[in-house]
C-alpha cells in the first residue's frame, strides 16, 4: 500500500466506526443552534419586524434591605408626582381673590304709622230743633223730675243756655250727659254755630 492511500484508508475506517457519533454531535449542535434564540432572548421581534431585536432587560429594583443587615428586604417608597390638574387648581385658587366677608347691614324697621283717629259721626237727634228740645226735655225729666227744658238767654247763644225748669231753681243742662243718655257712653255733644242754641248735635267716635 502506498503512502497516499494509507491516510485515506484510516479516514474511511474511522468514518465507518465513528460516523454515528459525528452525526449525533452535528444534530445536537444544530438543535442547540436552533434553540439559542429562545434561550438567550435573541430572535425575531414580531412587533417591530426587526430580526434579533430582543426587548431590553429591566434591571430589578434595588431592595433597601440587604442580607448583611439581617432585616427583610423592603421595596423602595414610590415617588408621587403632583397632578397637573391639582396644580392648575392651586394656581387658580392663588389668583382668585378672597371673598369678602361683610356682615349684613341690619334692616331698619320703621314703626307702623299710627292710625288716624276716626272722624266723629253724627248720631242725632233727629227732627231738627224739635228733636233737640224733645231729647233735652227727657233728660230733665230723668234727672230733675221735671218735663220742662227751656232757653235761659234766648236762641242766640249755644253754650250754657239750655236749662231744666224747676220750681225754685233752673239748673243748666249738661249737653254731653244728655247725648250719652240717649246714644251711649261714647257719645258727646258739639255745636256747629256758637250763636245758635239749636245747632247742638250728638256725635260718636
**3 state SS of 123:** strand
Per-residue pLDDT reduced to its tens digit, 166-176 = 888 899 999 99
Q: Mean pLDDT, the chain, as a whole number?
A: 74
- Is the pLDDT at 191 greater than 80? The verdict is yes
- Under the banding of pLDDT at 50, 70 and 90, the label for residue 101 is low
Q: Which residues contact 72 (CB under 8 A, 6 or more apart)?
A: 65
- Is the pLDDT at 45 greater than 90? The verdict is no
Integer Cα distance of 87 and 101 in angstroms: 27
- Is the pLDDT at 140 greater than 60? The verdict is yes
DSSP state of 134: H
Q: Residue with C-alpha cell 417591530?
A: 48
What is the pLDDT, as a whole number, of residue 163? 96
Q: Which range is least confidently modeled, 34-48, 56-70, 94-108? A: 56-70
What is the pLDDT, as a whole number, of residue 23? 80
- Is the pLDDT at 97 greater than 70? The verdict is no
Report phi then psi at 51, rounded to 5: -70, 145
- The predicted model gives 138-159 an average pLDDT of 93
Integer Cα distance of 150 and 136 in angstroms: 9
Per-residue pLDDT reduced to its tens digit, 73-96 = 444 444 454 454 555 555 555 566
What is the pLDDT, as a whole number, of residue 89? 58
Per-residue pLDDT reduced to its tens digit, 117-127 = 788 999 989 99
Amino acid at each position: 500500500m502506498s503512502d497516499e492511500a494509507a491516510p485515506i484508508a484510516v479516514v474511511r475506517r474511522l468514518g465507518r466506526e465513528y460516523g454515528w457519533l459525528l452525526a449525533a454531535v452535528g444534530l445536537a449542535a444544530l438543535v442547540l443552534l436552533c434553540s439559542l434564540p429562545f434561550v438567550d432572548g435573541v430572535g425575531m421581534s414580531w412587533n417591530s419586524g426587526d430580526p434579533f431585536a430582543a426587548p431590553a432587560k429591566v434591571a430589578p429594583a434595588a431592595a433597601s434591605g440587604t442580607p448583611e443587615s439581617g432585616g427583610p428586604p423592603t421595596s423602595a417608597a414610590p415617588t408621587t408626582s403632583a397632578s397637573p390638574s391639582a396644580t392648575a387648581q392651586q394656581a387658580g385658587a392663588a389668583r382668585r381673590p378672597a371673598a369678602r366677608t361683610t356682615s349684613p347691614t341690619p334692616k331698619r324697621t320703621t314703626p307702623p304709622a299710627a292710625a288716624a283717629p276716626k272722624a266723629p259721626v253724627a248720631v242725632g237727634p233727629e227732627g231738627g230743633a224739635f228733636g233737640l228740645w224733645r231729647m233735652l226735655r227727657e233728660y230733665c225729666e230723668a234727672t230733675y223730675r221735671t218735663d220742662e227744658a227751656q232757653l235761659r238767654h234766648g236762641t242766640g247763644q249755644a253754650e250754657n243756655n239750655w236749662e231744666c225748669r224747676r220750681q225754685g231753681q233752673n239748673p243748666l243742662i249738661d249737653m254731653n250727659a244728655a247725648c250719652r243718655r240717649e246714644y251711649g257712653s261714647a257719645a258727646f255733644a258739639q255745636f256747629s254755630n256758637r250763636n245758635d242754641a239749636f245747632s247742638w248735635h250728638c256725635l260718636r267716635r
